[in-house]
Homo-oligomer: A and B are copies of this chain.
Amino acid sequence: MSVVVRNIPRAPQAVIDGLARAGVATVHEAQGRKGCLHSYMRPIYTGAQVAGSAVTISAPPGDNWMLHVAIEQLQPGDLLVLAPTSPCDNGYFGDLLATSAMARGCRGLIIDAGVRDVRDLKAMGFPVWSKAVSAQGTVKETPGSVNVPIVCAGQAIDAGDVIVADDDGVVVVKQAEAEAVLIAANKRLAAEEAKRTRLAAGELGLDIYNMRPALAAKGLKYV
């Protein structure tokens, strides 16, 4: 039952980088308000904004053996994405694994569990989005799998899907949809710019979006 899939599809690097620039909230809207991981996934430090191809890991609770296996599968621009097979907040990952992952060009870690050595990780500039920070270590007794489909923090993720992460959280874009989502995201960013100017000048969303008739039709009363 324990497998490592060696060849995975990846979206073009330029698309991935474009999605990183668009950011999580915009990407999520651009693909129809879907793909957000649960909001308990928080960055260990603020300010990072990254995207990468998912190298997925399915690991037993309290066992981080598969991280070593997954690191060998990394290509520059990838992100590690780990889901335990049952809820666990142990610290699966620390500065040594980060050193190894960075040596292979890894851009960060998304983990529905815990992480440790967070001060070192911040100093190294290795961003992590996790459910917990925990010094509690793990064992290396039971294999899991790498690059199999997983569910991480409420979202189904396939190896090679594009993961975008920033201070707002984490969103997954299916690999085959990445290019279309980027186009929609960029369109959205351009439209937002125009709206921002009008709103900053004091115009109201009620008027810009012509909401007053619809609100009245649904029964809103001013008293």
Contacts and interface: CB of A to CB of B under 8 A. Distances in A.
A135 B6 contact: no
B34 A85 contact: yes
Interface residues of A, number: 91
A151 B141 contact: no
A195 B96 CA distance: 8
Interface stretch (A13-21, A116-124, A176-184): A116-124
A199 B103 contact: yes
Interface string A80-93: 00000111111100
A213 to B, nearest CB: 13
Number of copies of chain A assembled together: 6
B151 A68 contact: no
B100 A199 contact: yes
Interface in A81-139: 85-91, 94-97, 99-100, 102-104, 114, 116-119, 132-137, 139
A1 B114 contact: no
A9 to B, nearest CB: 15
Interface of A: 1-6, 24-25, 28-29, 32-34, 36, 38-39, 42, 45-47, 49, 60-63, 65, 68-69, 71-72, 85-91, 94-97, 99-100, 102-104, 114, 116-119, 132-137, 139-143, 149, 151, 154-156, 166-169, 171, 192, 195-196, 199-202, 204-206, 209, 211, 215, 218-223
